[in-house]
Structure 1
Amino acid sequence: MSEDPRMELLALDHAGALERFELANRMFFAERVGDRGDDFFEHFEDRLAERVRENDERTSLFFVVLDGEGEVLGRVNITDIDRPEATELGFRIAEDAQGRGIARQGVAAALEVAASRGVRTVKARVSAENLASHRVLQHCGFEETGPTEPPISSPTTFIGYRKDLHGSC
């Protein structure tokens, strides 16, 4: 990698790199959160267009973390920023990019953008076994709220977190 990772709002231009990222890491993510299923990939461009529209309409924040060549190292999302009771953070980092602080940096940057758009509280949920993600959330000031509903199709137990956006990571 020739330069530090950078974060950008998701755009249609990211389609190829994002699809490569999702496919290359599909099994890695499936083991941790559950598989998105074939439908996700069959309708990839439509889903991407929906996420970009949400960014444009300022109802959610979808980011990609890119390396110096424009390849996707990770994603950070804050959904439903227009619905305070439902605003939720999610993130995923490529298997080969783990352990470099990319998740922490990406989450911190996303929270700053969310706060600048008036978001006051963000929830998150993490697989009970995903210790690295727990550390990211704790480092960024999230407080554990206890067991919570897992994402659809996830066979694992999830722990909830919450953060009031009056400070940064």
Structure 2
Amino acid sequence: MPELQRLRADHAPALLAFERENRAWLARAITDRGDAYFADFPARHRALLSCQDVGTDHFHVLVADDRTTILGRFNLMDVTDGQAELGFRMAESATGHGLATEAARAVCHLAATDYALTSLRAQANLDNLASHTVLTRVGFTVTGETVLRNGTAGRRYVQELTGGAAGATGR
């Protein structure tokens, strides 16, 4: 069974492999990270861990049964005043099995329990139906606000968290 793990330094090689192997797949639904992301990956990874250490962000990876392959990323970013932004991305090979929903639900639970957050925000490009499905299944509701994400129209979501019950209802 895949396992959600908090991002660590030793995830770097597998995370870089995940990003490279899925670059074209992910670029179909979200903005490509660009060549500089890959060229500067070691420094970028260290910076993420530093942000996590000070509590401004909480990064997670979904690790496959083999314990070496990363299937997805689930991040709580820009933590402020009990709120954070949920972002996630899945490997093409891992889609369609409910793994994104399970991992997003687990991250929402961590947000409420381990990180003491009270609400989460998320957004997805209008044509990214898979992300919209995951967000609604784990209890997010549409705010009605349309946002621009790197020049592409997107929909904004919110979820109020309640002491450990976040995302656990399977809505």
Whether contact under 8 Å (1:79, 1:88) holds in the other structure is yes
CA contact (8 A) 2:147 2:154 kept: yes
The answer to whether the 8 Å contact 2:82/2:118 transfers is no
Q: 2:46 aligns with which of 32, 45, 49?
A: 49
Q: Where do residues 81-100 of structure 1 align in structure 2 (5 Å cutoff)?
A: 81=79, 83-84=80-81, 87-100=84-97
In 2: Cα distance, 1:143 partner to 1:84 partner:
20
SS at match of 1:159: strand
Q: TM-score, normalised by structure 1?
A: 0.91
User: CA contact under 8 A between 2:83 and 2:119: conserved in structure 1?
Assistant: no
Does 2:153 correspond to 1:160? no
**Distance (whole Å) between structure 1 residues aligned to residue 11 and residue 119 of structure 2:** 28
Alignment check: 8 A CA contact 2:75 2:86 kept = yes
TM-score by length of 2: 0.90
1:26 & 1:86 partners in 2: Cα distance? Answer: 29
Instruction: Give runs of aligned pairs for residues 4-153 of structure 1, distance below 5 A.
Output: 4-69=1-66, 70-81=68-79, 83-84=80-81, 87-116=84-113, 117-145=115-143, 146-150=145-149, 152=150
Q: Residue 149 of structure 1: CA displacement?
A: 2.5
Higher strand share: 2
The DSSP-based 3-state class of the residue aligned with 2:4 is strand
Separation of aligned partners in 1, 2:102 and 2:166: 11
Deviation at 1:156, TM superposition (A): 2.6
Please give the alpha-carbon distance, in whole angstroms, between the structure 1 residues aligned to 2:47 and 2:6. Answer: 13
Kindly indicate whether the alpha-carbon contact (under 8 Å) linking 1:9 and 1:55 is maintained by their aligned counterparts in 2.
no
Letter of the structure 2 residue corresponding to residue 130 of structure 1: N
**Aligned-residue CA RMSD in angstroms?**
1.4
Structure 1 unmatched ranges of 5 or more = none
Structure 1 outlier segments of 4+, above 2 Å? none
Uncovered stretches (5+) of structure 2, i.e. residues with no partner? none
Deviation at 1:56, TM superposition (A): 1.8
One-letter identity of the residue aligned with 2:39:
E
Amino acid at match of 1:123: R
